Structure 1
Amino acid sequence: MQKVNFLVFDDFETLDLFGVVEIFGRLKESYDLKFVSLEGGVITSSQQTPIVTEPISSIDTSGILVVPGGMGTRKLVDHHEWTEQLTKLSLLAPYVLTICTGAALLAKTGLLNGKKATSNKRAFDWVISTNQAVNWQRKARWVVADKYYTSSGVSAGMDMALGFIADRHGKACAQKIAYDIEYVWNDCPQEDFFVGK
């Protein structure tokens, strides 16, 4: 069973996180979900949803790393210790998935330099400003570059997570999860309905 480490921070976007949690949580025999933050304790989303986390020091570094976005990313892009920890964890993780403006945090580590990535279209110009060495893809629902998966805004994280499941377990598995949660999966990563709107 593989760990999935959800690395959260105050003012994360609730759906960024829990949409992806729902999808990974459907494969209980394959994934063990864990919520972590820099120091542990209660972390609160932008929508005032509190969750209990373990400290980052307790993380199983062989697990998949998932980083949501949200308004809290604006402060964290300039938080040296947080970026340093994210760099270490991302280098060790077999896969790193970011949702929405979580891509800005990963971009700040330099690990996306020269790689394709995307982010929330409403915040795209700000995300680009955090690191222009990334090959930002304005028209994309999600992007895969080596072990890095980045998605567009909020609900796009669910499409990306299903895409990740399809890559690891086959498309039929991802389709079944989408059906079971009554979600219409946009299974084409290049099809982005929100670009330019």
Structure 2
Amino acid sequence: MTAEPLRIAFLLFPDVTQLDLTGPVQVLSRLGNARLDLVAATLEPVPTDAGFSIVPTATFADVPAADILCVPGGFGTHRAIADDATIDWVARVGADARWVTSVCTGSLVLGAAGLLRGYKAGCHWAQRHMLPLFGAEPVAERVVIDRNRLTGGGVTAGIDFALRLTALIRGEAHARMVQLALEYDPIPPFDAGSPERAGVAVVEAYERRVAQLAPGRDDQLRALAARRGFAG
């Protein structure tokens, strides 16, 4: 039986965390019979936080609707939230999408677009506490599924979320085959992938680093939420 056709739209914005994007792109590109677009305001290359740019395949005007909407995260999420055209597109596509999804702090963008009110959601651990600003219930899990909302934790959780979504759409057997094809069999060299296991010293070092890279980001996000009509 031929798989149902799907249109998948990934939001692309400046200073996106590239693995938030490319991890699930790699997995979902193997759904079969799917058209996948990297969508931005223009077709100009978009800089990522890894020091290289990604070329969009479509503009907001080109993609008025999609079966799957996915929003990655990164330090550029605040700029995305501040941009009316970006949030309008996310809100419009997400309103009718079959699946509304995100990776890392991309859930904050979904929230700012009004798509997470009354939903449980995941986020990068360091920004999960900001989800209630947008009426979402934060959940400390790698992948959070609430009805048709699938939200991943930080960065690498995008691969896990995409495999879970693949199983929901094409079945577990297909998802297992994709996982095998990608040889996704992680054995990390350190047990430091969560604040609970990384230890106080590592967490504090991370927080100092973020404070240098994005000073005052919580206050900035609160101001952006208020600007968009969220009481917090």
When normalised by structure 1's length, the TM-score is 0.87
Identify the structure with the greater helix proportion: 2
Which letter maps to 1:81? A
Cα deviation per residue 1:10-66 (whole Å; 9 max; x = unaligned)? 110111111111101223x32121111123321111112212212110015133111
2: distance between equivalents of 1:60 and 1:32? 14
1: distance between equivalents of 2:70 and 2:43? 16
Mapped pair 1:46 → 2:49: yes
Identify the structure with the greater strand proportion: 1
State which structure, 1 or 2, has the greater radius of gyration over its C-alpha atoms.
Answer: 2
Which letter maps to 1:144? I
Which letter maps to 2:76? G
- Report the counterpart of residue 110 of structure 1 in structure 2: 114
Mapped pair 1:14 → 2:15: no
1: distance between equivalents of 2:133 and 2:88? 15
Which letter maps to 1:156? A
Cα deviation per residue 1:102-158 (whole Å; 9 max; x = unaligned)? 000001122211110010113323x33642x21111x21111122211000001011
1: distance between equivalents of 2:10 and 2:174? 22
- Report the counterpart of residue 121 of structure 1 in structure 2: 125
Q: Which runs of 5+ in 2 are unaligned?
A: 187-192, 198-232
2: distance between equivalents of 1:171 and 1:70? 30
2: distance between equivalents of 1:114 and 1:196? 27
- Report the counterpart of residue 157 of structure 1 in structure 2: 158
Counterpart of 1:85 (choices 64, 85, 89) is: 89
Residues 43 and 50, structure 1, Cα contact 8 Å, conserved in 2: yes
- Report the counterpart of residue 103 of structure 2 in structure 1: 99
Instruction: Report the CA distance shift for 1:154/1:55 in structure 2 as closer, same or farther (over 3 A).
Output: same
Cα deviation per residue 1:72-129 (whole Å; 9 max; x = unaligned)? 002222333321221111102211110000000001122211110010113323x336
Instruction: Report the CA distance shift for 1:74/1:129 in structure 2 as closer, same or farther (over 3 A).
Output: farther
Which letter maps to 1:12? V
- Report the counterpart of residue 188 of structure 1 in structure 2: none
Q: Which runs of 5+ in 1 are unaligned?
A: 186-192
1: distance between equivalents of 2:171 and 2:67? 20
Residues 41 and 55, structure 1, Cα contact 8 Å, conserved in 2: no
Residues 39 and 60, structure 2, Cα contact 8 Å, conserved in 1: yes
Regions of 4+ moved over 3 Å: none
Residues 9 and 68, structure 2, Cα contact 8 Å, conserved in 1: yes
- Report the counterpart of residue 135 of structure 1 in structure 2: 137
Which letter maps to 1:154? V
- 1:166-185 equivalences under 5 Å are 166-184=167-185
Which letter maps to 2:93? L
Secondary structure of the corresponding residue to residue 41 of structure 1: coil
Secondary structure of the corresponding residue to residue 110 of structure 2: helix
Instruction: Report the CA distance shift for 1:60/1:111 in structure 2 as closer, same or farther (over 3 A).
Output: closer
Residues 40 and 56, structure 1, Cα contact 8 Å, conserved in 2: no
CA-based RMSD: 1.8
2: distance between equivalents of 1:194 and 1:115? 23
2: distance between equivalents of 1:38 and 1:89? 14
